[in-house]
Amino acid sequence: MNPLLSAAPLPLFDQIRPEHVAPAVDALLAQADAALETVTAPGFPAQWNAIARELDVATEKLGRAWGAVSHLNSVADTPELRAAYNAALPKVTEFWTRLGADERLYAKYKAIDPATLNAEQRQAHKNAMRNFVLGGAELQGAQRERFAAIQEQQANLSQKFSENTLDATDAFSYYATAAEMAGVPDDVLQATRAAAQAEGKDGYKLSLKMPCYLPVMQFAHSSALRATLYRAYVTRASDQADAAAQKFDNSQGIRDILALRQEEARLLGYPHFGALSLVPKMASSPEAVITFLRDLAHKARPFAEKDLADLRTFAREQLNLADPQPWDWPYVSEKLKEARYAFSEQEVKQYFTAPKVLAGLFKIAETLFDVAIRPDTAPVWNPGVAFYRIERTGPAGTQLVGQFYLDPTARAGKRGGAWMDDVRARWLRPDTAELQTPVAHLVCNFADGVEVNGVKKPALLSHDDVTTLFHEFGHGLHHMLTQVNEHDVSGISGVEWDAVELPSQFMENFCWEWNVLEHMTAHAETGEPLPRTLFDKMLAAKNFQSGMQTLRQIEFSLFDMLLHTAHDPQQDFMPLLQQVRQEVAVLQPPEWSRTAHTFSHIFAGGYAAGYYSYKWAEVLSADAYAAFEETAAPDGTPSVETGRKYRQAILEAGGSRPAMESFKAFRGREPSLDALLRHQGMAA
């Protein structure tokens, strides 16, 4: 039996093999095609539920199986799986493109009377009508064929961009000596030493994966070692990489992607891809986004300039560095932070053991959102993956709300970063009339626990790691706590892209609350909770370099939007990046830096002309969190009443109404920039 065709409620991740992909995809595509022919036949009724019973059931089955293959491709990449995925990708892309542009299906949806639908179905119907137009359903003849070809080419190019980024990252290794590693934290020394020994090599094996790269940049005393890593990192997948790594160069791929996006936009009647991208988003126009970003940059700039002046003074006076180089800044920053606030990231890390952090995260979610989170079992793709269930107890007894996989650690063959993805959505199924509960993936790339004398110690997380975990869990709660029964607008489905970061960024705020942190910390050796004195230092340092960090996000966001509005794809994109840096950044990277070449968010991750969403949604999330600050108890304990209101207005509503309506249902007004500036120490 092919595990991808199994009727089991959860994917059989432990059984899926590369050879299962092609036959399963072919079978499911045939079923979906047959369903499409059935519902578009002349006599088939133009009724929401009738179409859903046939077509949505078949396409959901295809989506779930392909979702499992795509997920494995991201977290357990092998040459065989990659080949199977790439062979099936054009067929899957072709089907979804054809479905989204099917004139017959579009006509059926047009014929549905919105008065026969409930509120959730009306929103899903409205989205579907818009998506048909954006999917090319109104194009004819050669234009329609060209549109379909563009979709397939873009899917292939994005996948290649991803592969080059992963391969370029995995291909690098450097064996450092003990002298070069002076200053590097113990847990990193142990892990890199073990990695070298596993290959029968001397020294310490360094990689460009974050759990290794970042601490070396922050703590290694050797400027030469930092320079080696920095150069390798910022030239990954580019024309500036070492000769051996040139085969991973993404330069041409980026140009091709940009040209195809511009052509797609023009086929659909838009002046550029930026305008097309914003049609289903909250922001009204690219101009509105650019104005928002430049306004925020203007407000943040004085703070960023002061951040940089402080760094330069400290480097000169305390570290004898008259002219710090780009690879010196993380080190200088860490040293300044230690000097100014009398603590180091390394000291903090000892208190954040992964199991304790997870327990603390679950406790805050359980308290605020009236749920219970329990360990559960499911087939997994790696022994380090855990599975959990979320339950709610009510008058009718205990009910399953949702479930999630947690894959926390970095490893070879797993793409970098952190993300949440859906396995299945909440849906009152039209075929069985049963309620399907949502399931999510939460993926991070933290360091693993190290083995010392045969005993495996728990993984230690930096405070940034903790914030990342809370962020992804916020996305997960948005997907899993939904009370919407219509598949296409339940959970994160149908939520405007620039509002989807609201629940994730909202959760990050709890990582700065004492009464949350004291319950989720225990020193790795002594078991003691985080001392209040250390927390106070962390809090004092919370907005350390927030001006520079804000400008960095704006630099990425502005580059992304200008790239998709004002840039000619035939021209080199590097001058545009230089221009944006000249306008926004206070620190200029070297001329050979090529960060655009691994900017996966916009070239392989759905954020094209949408990276501004992080800053846009941060305004929403900061203002939403301000409601908790306004209603907290004197000791800072968050109000359960406010938690309930937030859960009902934002999390449970999912995509069943415009995000602004959900926000106003919670706050009683439109969002304001004030809370964000205050939270980041940049209030007037």
Q: Map 528-595 to HEC letters.
A: CCCCHHHHHHHHHCCCCCHHHHHHHHHHHHHHHHHHCCCCCCCCCCHHHHHHHHHHHCCCCCCCCCCH
Locate tokens 């805050």: which residue? 364
386-394: strand order across its sheet: 372-376, 386-394, 397-409, 439-446, 419-424
Inter-residue contact 307 to 547 (CB < 8 Å): yes
Furthest C-alpha separation in the chain? 82
Domains of the chain (ranges; CATH) run 3-153 (1.10.1370.40), 172-248 (no CATH), 286-341+544-679 (1.10.1370.10), 354-490+503-512 (3.40.390.10)
pLDDT value of position 625: 97
Of 425, 389, 419, the closest CA to residue 407 belongs to 419
How would you class 641 by CB atoms within 10 Å of its CB: exposed for 0-12, middle for 13-18, buried for 19 or more?
Answer: exposed
Locate tokens 């659909």: which residue? 268
CA 115 to chain centre: 37
pLDDT value of position 444: 98
How would you class 176 by CB atoms within 10 Å of its CB: exposed for 0-12, middle for 13-18, buried for 19 or more?
Answer: buried
pTM, rounded to two decimals: 0.93
Of 9, 16, 7, 8, the closest CA to residue 68 belongs to 16
Question: Can you read off the two tokens belonging to residue 7?
Answer: 């009727």
Helix (H, G, I), strand (E, B) or coil at 477: helix
Q: Among positive and negative, which fits the CA dihedral 360, 364, 367, 369?
A: negative
Q: How far is CA 260 from CA 187, 253, 277, 469, in A?
A: 45, 11, 14, 35
∠ CA 479-28-109, rounded to 5°: 65
pLDDT value of position 533: 96
pLDDT value of position 563: 98
Rounded to 10 degrees, the C-alpha dihedral 399/434/9/62 comes to -140
Inter-residue contact 16 to 72 (CB < 8 Å): yes
Inter-residue contact 356 to 465 (CB < 8 Å): no
Q: What is the DSSP letter of 682?
A: -
Q: What is the DSSP letter of 512?
A: G
- Three-state SS sequence of 365-405: HHHHHCCEEEEECCCCCCCCCEEEEEEEEECCEEEEEEEEE
Helices and strands: H and E segment counts in the chain = 27, 11
User: What is the spatial distance between Cα 549 and Cα 311, in angstroms, rounded to a whole number?
Assistant: 14
pLDDT value of position 635: 86
Of 520, 214, 194, 470, the closest CA to residue 348 belongs to 520
Q: What is the DSSP letter of 55?
A: I
Question: Can you read off the two tokens belonging to residue 332?
Answer: 């200088």
Instruction: Specify whether 472 is catalytic.
Output: yes
User: What is the spatial distance between Cα 311 and Cα 316, in angstroms, rounded to a whole number?
Assistant: 9
Helix (H, G, I), strand (E, B) or coil at 446: strand
Question: Can you read off the two tokens belonging to residue 60?
Answer: 């959901």
Cβ neighbours for 30, distance < 8 A, ≥ 6 positions apart: none
Question: Can you read off the two tokens belonging to residue 77?
Answer: 């990449």
What digits encode the pLDDT tens for the residues 327-377?
Answer: 999 999 999 999 999 999 999 999 999 999 999 999 999 999 999 999 999
Of 491, 474, 496, the closest CA to residue 401 belongs to 491
What digits encode the pLDDT tens for the residues 166-188?
Answer: 999 999 999 999 999 999 999 99
Inter-residue contact 503 to 478 (CB < 8 Å): yes
User: What is the spatial distance between Cα 60 and Cα 64, in angstroms, rounded to a whole number?
Assistant: 6
Paired sense of beta strands 386-394 and 372-376, if any:
antiparallel
Of 375, 358, 679, 342, the closest CA to residue 534 belongs to 342
User: What is the spatial distance between Cα 589 and Cα 326, in angstroms, rounded to a whole number?
Assistant: 6
Inter-residue contact 290 to 281 (CB < 8 Å): no
User: What is the spatial distance between Cα 86 and Cα 73, in angstroms, rounded to a whole number?
Assistant: 10
Terminal Cα distance for the chain, rounded: 65
Low-confidence ranges of the chain (pLDDT < 70): 684
DSSP string of 110-145?
A: HHS-GGGS-HHHHHHHHHHHHHHHHTTTT--HHHHH
Select which of 54, 472, 486, 618 is catalytic. Answer: 472
Cβ neighbours for 329, distance < 8 A, ≥ 6 positions apart: 311, 587
How many other CB atoms are found less than 10 A from the CB of residue 376?
16
pLDDT value of position 34: 98
User: What is the spatial distance between Cα 426 and Cα 428, in angstroms, rounded to a whole number?
Assistant: 7
Inter-residue contact 303 to 286 (CB < 8 Å): no
User: What is the spatial distance between Cα 263 and Cα 273, in angstroms, rounded to a whole number?
Assistant: 8
Q: Among positive and negative, which fits the CA dihedral 4, 6, 8, 14?
A: negative
pLDDT value of position 535: 97
Q: How far is CA 475 from CA 44, 455, 472, 491, 640, in A?
A: 38, 34, 5, 9, 20
